[in-house]
Chain A
Amino acid sequence: MADVTAFKAGVKPRNHIVYILTENPVSIVAIAGFAVIVFAAIFGPLVAPYDPLATNVAISLHPPSWDHWFGTDQLGRDVFSRVLVAARLDLMISVSAVALSFVIGATIGSAAGYFGGWTDRITGRVVDTIMAFPLFVLAMGIVAALGNTVENIIYATAIINVPFYARVARAEAAIRRTAGFVQAAKLSGNSDLRILATQVFPNALPPMAVQASLNMGWAILNAAGLSFIGLGVRPPTPEWGIMVAEGANFIISGEWWLAIFPGLALMLTVFTFNLLGDALRDIVDPRQRT
Chain B
Amino acid sequence: MKTSSLPLISVQNLTVEFGTREGPVTAVRDVSFDLARGETLGIVGESGSGKSVTSFALMGILDANGQVAQGEMTYSGIDLRRASPRQMRDIRGREISMIFQNPRSALNPIRKVGLQIEDILREHAVAVGGHARRQAVELLDRVRIRDPEKRYHAYPHELSGGMCQRVVIALALACKPRVLIADEPTTGLDVTTQKTIMDLIRDLATEQGLSTILITHDLGLAANYCGRIVVMKRGEVVEAAPVDVLFGAPRHPYTRALIEATPRRSGTVRALLPPDDFRHGQPDPKPRCRALSAPLLTVEGLTKEFGAEGSGFGWLPWRKGVETDKAFRAVDDLSFELHAGESLGLVGESGCGKSTTSMMIMRLLDPTQGSVRLDGEEISAIPSSKFARHPARAKLQFVFQDPTDSLNPRFTAARCISDPILRLGKLEGGKAVKARVEELADLVNLPLELLSRFPHQLSGGQKARVGIARAVALNPSLLILDEPTAALDVSVQAVVLNLLADLRAQLGMSYLFVSHDLNVVRLLCERVVVMRAGIIVEEGATDQVMTTPKTAYTRELLASSPEPPPTLGALEAAE
- Show the binding face of A for B, using Cβ within 8 Å: 1-11, 19, 118, 179-181, 183-192, 199, 202-203, 290
Question: Which chain A residue has the least Cβ–Cβ distance from B362?
Answer: A187
Chain B proximity of A175: nearest CB distance (Å): 11
Q: Are A188 and B420 in contact (CB under 8 A)?
A: yes
Closest residue of B by beta carbon distance from A2: B47
Listed stretches B218-226, B236-244, B385-393; interface member: B385-393
Contact A290–B419 (Cβ < 8 Å) = no
Among A19, A180, A185: residue with most chain B CB under 10 A? A180
27 contacts between A and B (CB under 8 A): A3-B27, A3-B50, A3-B51, A3-B52, A4-B18, A7-B18, A7-B20, A7-B25, A8-B20, A9-B22, A10-B457, A181-B405, A181-B411, A184-B406, A184-B407, A187-B364, A187-B471, A188-B470, A189-B423, A189-B424, A190-B419, A190-B423, A199-B408, A203-B409, A203-B410, A290-B20, A290-B21
Determine the main DSSP class of B at the interface with A.
mixed
Q: Known contacts A3-B50, A4-B53, A189-B423; decide if A184 and B21 are in contact (CB<8 Å).
A: no
Partner of B52, one of A1, A180, A181, A190: A1
From known contacts A8-B20, A10-B456, A189-B423, infer whether A183 and B364 are also in contact, taking CB-CB under 8 Å.
yes
How far is A179 from B402 in the complex, measured between Cα atoms in Å? 10
Considering only CB atoms, which chain B residue lies closest to A185 in the complex?
Answer: B419
What are the 5 A-B residue pairs with the smallest beta carbon separation, nearest first?
Answer: A6-B48, A180-B406, A188-B420, A189-B423, A180-B405
CB distance from A237 to the nearest CB of B (A): 43
Q: Report the separation of the CA atoms of residues A67 and B407 in the bound assembly, to the nearest whole angstrom.
A: 63
Bound-state CA distance A191–B390 (Å) is 11
Bound Cα distance from A4 to B312, whole angstroms: 47
Q: Specify the chain A residue showing the minimal Cβ separation from B18.
A: A4
Residues from chain A with Cβ under 8 Å of B312 in the complex? 118
Chain A binding surface SS class: helix
Task: Name the CB-closest residue of A to B419.
Answer: A188
A11 to B402, CA, bound (A): 23
Interface hub of B20, B66, B394 (most chain A Cβ within 10 A): B20
Question: Inside 8 A of A3's CB, which chain B residues have their CB?
Answer: 27, 47-53
Select which of A11, A183, A188 is within 8 A of B423 by beta carbon.
A188
Cα–Cα, bound, A184→B466 (Å): 12
CB within 8 Å for A187 and B420 given contacts A3-B47, A180-B402: yes
- A187 and B398 form a contact (CB under 8 A): yes
Q: Is A4 a contact partner of B63 (Cβ separation < 8 A)?
A: yes
> A80–B340 Cα gap in the complex (Å)?
81
Give chain B nearest CB distance to A209 CB in angstroms. 14
Q: Known contacts A179-B405, A180-B402: does B21 contact A6 (CB below 8 Å)?
A: no
Among residues of B, the one whose C-beta sits closest to the C-beta of A115 is: B385
In the bound complex, residues from chain A placing their C-beta under 8 Å from that of B50 are 3
Report how far A6 CA is from B47 CA in the complex, Å: 7
- Judge whether B398 and A184 touch: CB under 8 Å: yes
Q: Tell me the complex Cα distance, A192–B389, Å.
A: 11
Q: A3-B48, A10-B456 are in contact. Are A186 and B388 (CB under 8 A)?
A: yes
Contact of B407 among A7, A9, A181, A290 (CB under 8 A): A181
| Distance of A173 from chain B, by nearest CB (Å) | 14
Residues of chain A with a CB closer than 8 A to B398's CB:
183-184, 187
Given contacts A183-B406, A184-B419, 5 further A-B contacts (CB under 8 A): A3-B51, A8-B25, A181-B406, A181-B411, A181-B416
CA distance A224 to B111 in the complex (A): 49
| Complex CA distance for A181 and B409, rounded to whole angstroms | 9
- A2, A19, A181, A290, most chain B CB atoms within 10 A: A181
- In the complex, chain A residues whose CB is within 8 Å of the CB of B424: 188-189
Interface residue B105 (Cβ < 8 Å from any Cβ of A): no
Q: What residues of chain B lie closer than 8 Å to A181, measured between beta carbons?
A: 405-409, 411, 416
Q: Please determine whether B48 and A189 come into contact, CB atoms closer than 8 angstroms.
A: no
Contact indicator B388/A189 (Cβ below 8 Å): yes
Which chain A positions have C-beta within 8 A of B477?
none
Q: Say whether B397 faces chain A, with CB atoms less than 8 Å apart.
A: yes
Bound CA span A250–B181, Å: 74
CB nearest to B480 among chain A residues: A187
- Residues from chain A with a CB closer than 8 A to the CB of B247 are none
Determine which residue in A1, A188, A191 has the highest number of CB atoms from chain B within 10 A of its CB, and name it: A188
- Judge whether A7 and B48 touch: CB under 8 Å: yes
Tell me if B65 is interfacial: C-beta within 8 Å of chain A. Answer: yes
A223, B497: Cα distance in complex, Å: 62
Q: How far is the CA of A19 from the CA of B20 in the complex (A)?
A: 11
Give every chain B residue within 8 A of A187 (Cβ-Cβ).
362, 364, 393, 396-398, 420, 471
Contact with A along B36-72 (1 / 0, CB 8 A): 0000000000011111110000000001011000000
Would B362 and A1 count as touching, CB distance under 8 A? no
Q: Give chain A nearest CB distance to B199 CB in angstroms.
A: 26
Contact indicator B408/A203 (Cβ below 8 Å): yes
A189 to B53, CA, bound (A): 43
Minimum CB distance partner of B48 in chain A = A6
Separation in Å of the B524 CB from the closest CB of chain A?
21
Q: How far is B90's CA from A154's CA once the two chains are assembled, in angstroms?
A: 62
**Residues on the A chain within 8 Å of B49, using CB:** 3
CB neighbours of A188 from chain B (8 A):
419-420, 423-424, 470
Q: Which residue of A lies closest to B62 (CB)?
A: A4
| Closest partner residue, chain B, to A7 (CB atom) | B25
B400 interface contact, C-beta 8 A: yes
Tell me, in angstroms, the Cα distance from A277 to B22 when the chains sit together.
26
How distant is the Cα of A188 from the Cα of B18 in the complex, in angstroms? 41
A1-B52, A3-B50, A187-B364 are contacts. A290–B65 as well, Cβ < 8 Å? yes
Question: What separation, in Å, do the CA atoms of A4 and B419 have in the docked complex?
Answer: 32
Looking at the assembled complex, report how far the CB atom of A196 sits from the nearest CB atom of chain B, in whole angstroms: 13
Q: A1 contacts which chain B residues (CB < 8 A)?
A: 52, 63
Q: Which residues of B contact A191 (CB under 8 A)?
A: 388-389
User: A202, B410: Cβ atoms under 8 Å?
Assistant: yes
A118 surroundings in chain B (CB, below 8 A): 312
The CA of A237 and the CA of B405, in the complex, are separated in Å by: 54
Residues of chain B lying within 8 A (CB to CB) of residue A9:
22
**Nearest-CB residue, chain A, relative to B26:** A7
**Contact between chains at A186 and B364 (CB < 8 Å):** yes
* Residues from chain B with Cβ under 8 Å of A199 in the complex: 408
Nearest CB in chain B: distance from A187 CB, A = 5
* Complex contacts, A179 vs chain B, CB 8 Å: 405-406
With most chain A CB atoms within 10 A of its CB, the pick from B65, B405, B470 is B405
**Contact residue among A10, A184, A202 (Cβ-Cβ distance under 8 Å from B400):** A184
CB of A77 to closest CB in B, whole Å: 51
Residues on A with C-beta less than 8 A from B471 are 187
Closest to B215 in A: A3
CB proximity of B248 to chain A, nearest CB, Å: 29
CA of A5 to CA of B22, assembled, Å: 14
Shortest beta-carbon distance from B332 to chain A in Å: 24
Known: A186-B364, A189-B423. A7 touches B402 (CB 8 A): no
Bound complex: CA of A6 vs CA of B405, how far in Å?
17
| Chain A residues, CB < 8 A from B389 | 189, 191
Bound Cα distance A288, B249 (Å): 46
Q: How far is the CA of A186 from the CA of B420 in the complex (A)?
A: 9
B467 / chain A contacts, CB cutoff of 8 Å: 184
With CB as the reference atom, state the residue of chain B lying closest to A16: B21
A189 and B406 contacting across the interface, CB-CB below 8 Å: no
Contact B53 A184 (CB under 8 A): no
Q: Which residues of B contact A4 (CB under 8 A)?
A: 18, 27, 53, 63, 66
